[in-house]
Chains A and B, each alone.
Chain A
Amino acid sequence: MAFENTVDVNHPVHEVRSEAIKNFENLGFPSKKMEEWKYTSLKSLLKSDMSVFPKKESNLDYKDVKQYFIHEIESYKIVFIDGVYSSHLSETSHEGLDVCLMSAALSKPKYRLLIENYFNKIAVRDGLTSLNTAFSKEGAFINIPRGVVVEKPIQILHFSTGMESSLMTQPRNLIVVGENAHVQIIERHQSLTDNPTLTNSVTEIFANKRGIVDYYKIQNDKDAASLIDNTYISQQRNSHVSVHTFSLGGKLTRNNLQFFQKGEYLDSTLKGITITDKKQHVDHSTLVHHAQPNCESHQDYKGIYADKSTGVFNGRIVVEKEAQKTNGFQQSNNILLDDTATINAKPQLEIFADDVRCSHGCTIGQLDDEALLYLRSRGIPKKEATALLMFGFANNVLESVKIPELKQRITRLIADKLGVNLGFDL
């Protein structure tokens, strides 16, 4: 690896960065020897020397990338091309809320307090996150003040052009949601090239008291694109945070999704639909850390794996001694369409409190032949019948998407992935 040496020593987060560099030097990239990385190897992605800083700005026309936006709805947009902010594709705001850039937040004095309070405060200090903390230059900064209900969803889009062949982009997002505030965010990483791309993204989300955050991740990238997504969420009392992850594309996708509960009577929701084929690899590593009494967590992941693709579901729930009356629910349902497909599912419950309700269920199965015959005998061809069964299987995750246009889009992406054109809205 060759990293450019351009860290600004006068930066307010200089100390954080220096520490992160040391951390990364000590820890390096994760290897399969580590328990949490047992089923996912980054080896093949890290072969060549990589740069973490893009050298030049690229430009894109809206009409060429419109398809990657949920363009049917009004929204704020924060768009990056190879890690560099694209002002002409973006629609940011400072009116009643901040939808802007991480670089602005890090440099402008008016954000200094927010940065001091929130930047790198919940992110775990592992190798990859430290790498991002050390070298990230840009990302989305979203600050929703107390009581603000954001009417329009916010879209964060990261495009990779692949013009520089060995770029490892390090987007860094910080989202602070004030008391009683409400925001919906859609995030997408999209490669525009058939060259390999690699993204190591870190997002920190802070939901203050009674805050509501609905976060949607669309992972439908090209075959050669890989993504390591590290998302850390800190929740205060009575807040509701949900993260939906739709993993359909990409070469290797690793989702480190970690929730830290810091107050009582809050709930955390983690849902996902994963549909893979060819040699795709999708790894969901989740953690819900219950540290306070009377909280809930709901995890529901559906996976469908074809060809030689591999899935991992590593779902960890920790319930601290103080976290009495916790209600933790975790479910991972998987369908293997071919003998050559693999799913590694590992629920991990670590419960130190004695008055809790925690349940986990994991199923691995095949498509039901009888159900298939039933649908086919009503004139639905095999391919469409198979797709219909998969939609049915994943439906309760789709159902909980609260933005109708987004739900429709994801339905269509799934239909495209399955190669069918089913003429109805689910």
Chain B
Amino acid sequence: MLKIKNLHASVEGKEILKGINLEVNPGEVHAIMGPNGSGKSTLASVIAGNEDFEITDGSIELEGEELNEMAPEERAHQGVFLSFQYPVEIPGVTVTNFMKTAINETRKARGQEEMPANEMLKKIREKSELLEIDRKFLSRSLNEGFSGGEKKRNEIFQLAMMEPKLAILDETDSGLDIDALKIVANGVNRLKTDKNATIVITHYQRLLDYIIPDHVHVLLNGKIVKSGGKELALELEEKGYDWIKQEAAV
């Protein structure tokens, strides 16, 4: 589904990603771990189309379509979804109106009719129940005055509404207490099918107790230096990142 080949990206002339190779197949969950500053969030931003970053080499493909030159909205229309590490507050735009606009603009771009209002409301109800979101919450301004946990839950609610092919969760566990973490993880797990894929970006192993990855990759200094199964996450939790740094240096 997702094929990243020799991806190099920089911001303000400084190279952050230095040759990433990654292949994600439908139905898989990949975890990308690594110490602070290793380039995890940059990778997420570059896949989602943040124009602050420049791709200097390599390619990103989703189902055979190259994403490199696409605008962020076009990538969303292709089926890419990024759950933001720091969701932005948008005063004056309610969660419901935002979601309606996002879904209908995406449908428009795909040549589909707008979603009928009753279908939209039903979907909003179902997905907000999945994430245990209060109805009142939906008529509040997007992320404005939300707690850290509410923001993250709202991101996964959006994920549930958009039903992307590829979901990237950027540090979704940060700022969550254990109960919220379970709700979020349960939501993500329930949305998993054999046709979509998930990339979980995290510093800690904690979230991976609830969202079990098929593959774990360690990102260090802009490169994937080690890949393995879910046990690699546990090993990192136990031993930290130093041994990987030493291994990588050899």
Contacts and interface: CB of A to CB of B under 8 A. Distances in A.
A389 B142 CA distance: 11
B71 A375 contact: no
Interface stretch (A13-21, A172-180, A343-351, A377-385): A377-385
Residue among B72, B82, B106, B162 with most chain A CB within 10 A: B72
Interface in A358-387: 368, 370-371, 373-382, 384-385
Interface in A382-410: 382, 384-385, 388-389, 391-396
B84 interface: yes
B250 interface: no
A391 B109 contact: no
Interface in B96-110: 97-98, 100-106, 109
A381 B101 CA distance: 10
Given A379-B73, A382-B71, A374 B84 contact: yes
Contacts of B72: 373, 376-377
Contacts of B22: none
Interface residues of B, number: 34
B93 A395 contact: yes
A380 B102 contact: yes
A27 interface: no
Interface stretch (A88-96, A285-293, A418-426): A418-426
A370 to B, nearest CB: 5
Nearest to A374: B88
A392 B71 CA distance: 23
Given A377-B49, A381-B73, A392-B141, A371 B105 contact: no
Given A422-B101, A424-B97, A424-B101, A377 B92 contact: no
B40 interface: no
A377 B82 CA distance: 7
Contacts of A368: 88
Contacts of A377: 48-49, 72-73, 75-76, 81-82, 84
A423 B141 contact: no
A379 B51 CA distance: 15
Contacts of B91: 392-393, 395
B102 A426 contact: no
A384 B92 contact: no
Contacts of A423: 100-101, 104, 114
Contacts of A391: 92-93
A392 B105 contact: no
B158 interface: yes
Contact of B100 (A382, A392, A424): A424
B113 to A, nearest CB: 11
Interface in B14-73: 48-51, 71-73
Contacts of A374: 84, 87-88, 90
Contacts, number: 88
A396 B90 contact: no
Nearest to B100: A424
A165 to B, nearest CB: 42
A393 B92 contact: yes
A377 B101 CA distance: 12
Contacts of A393: 91-92
A135 to B, nearest CB: 43
A384 B101 contact: yes
Contact of A379 (B87, B90, B93, B162): B162
A392 B89 CA distance: 11
Interface string B196-208: 0000000000000
A374 B101 CA distance: 13
B153 interface: no
B8 interface: no
A405 B232 CA distance: 60
B101 A376 contact: no
B77 interface: yes
B170 to A, nearest CB: 11
Contacts of B106: 378-379
B76 A376 contact: yes
A417 to B, nearest CB: 17
For B71, B81, B88, B141, the residue with the greatest tally of chain A CB atoms inside 10 Å of its CB is: B88
B102 A379 contact: yes
A422 B93 CA distance: 13
Contacts of A382: 71, 73
Contacts of A424: 97, 100-101
Given A379-B73, A396-B92, A373 B101 contact: no
A334 B109 CA distance: 32
Interface string B95-131: 0011011111110010000100000000000000000
Contacts of A396: 92
A420 to B, nearest CB: 10
Given A388-B90, A423-B100, 20 more contacts: A371-B88, A374-B88, A375-B102, A376-B49, A376-B73, A376-B76, A377-B49, A377-B73, A377-B81, A377-B84, A378-B73, A379-B109, A380-B105, A384-B101, A391-B93, A392-B92, A395-B92, A396-B92, A424-B100, A426-B97
14 contacts: A374-B90, A376-B49, A376-B73, A377-B49, A377-B76, A379-B76, A379-B109, A380-B102, A382-B71, A389-B93, A391-B93, A392-B91, A392-B93, A393-B92
The 4 closest A-B pairs by CB, nearest first: A392-B92, A395-B92, A379-B106, A379-B76
